[in-house]
Amino acid sequence: MKTSAVIRPARPADAAALSALMRRTFLAANGHCSSPENVARFLDSAYTPELQASEIRDPDTLTVIVEQDGQWAGFAQLRWGSTPPPEVSLLPTVELGRIYLDPAFHGRGLAAQLVANLLAAASLRGSRSVWLNVWQEAAQAIRFYQKHGFQIVGSSLFRVGDDVKDDWVMMQALPTG
């Protein structure tokens, strides 16, 4: 019998375990996107316990952890403090900065629950839209975002070490009223 997911805000005490989960899930999803050296540099610049602790304490960042059956299945992050690309015209807006599930938890509907939770949190804080960047070669992720109401509105660049990747900018308008 499958139990429902628990989605909760990350706590400062979660920083080290969250950093480890972030590294694992990034490697599973994108470890092949560049050289091992570039991927290692990216991981060391983005996913450290100190950085995660700082992001958890940041009032303009919401980091959530999704658990199922007592295990951490994934995480996501909304960032109100990031500057949106010019293609994002519905302001105020928030960036869906990160959303990853451990591969062992794929196919259980957790990602859909996580997105619904994030969209509700964005609306509650007064955002009129949510935007994200996604690697143009991540066809499965692009299909997932489109299924959940996001549309491609532009392109951007993303660095993995010194390797520049082409990303899509995707956006979704949020209901008002």
Q: Which residue has the tokens 């005490």?
A: 13
37 φ/ψ sector (left φ>0, alpha ψ -120 to 50, else beta) = alpha
Per-residue tens of pLDDT for the chain, all 177 residues: 355 789 999 999 999 999 999 999 988 887 787 888 888 888 888 899 999 999 999 999 999 999 998 899 999 999 999 999 999 988 999 999 999 999 999 989 999 999 999 999 999 999 999 999 998 888 889 999 999 999 999 998 888 777 777 889 999 999 876
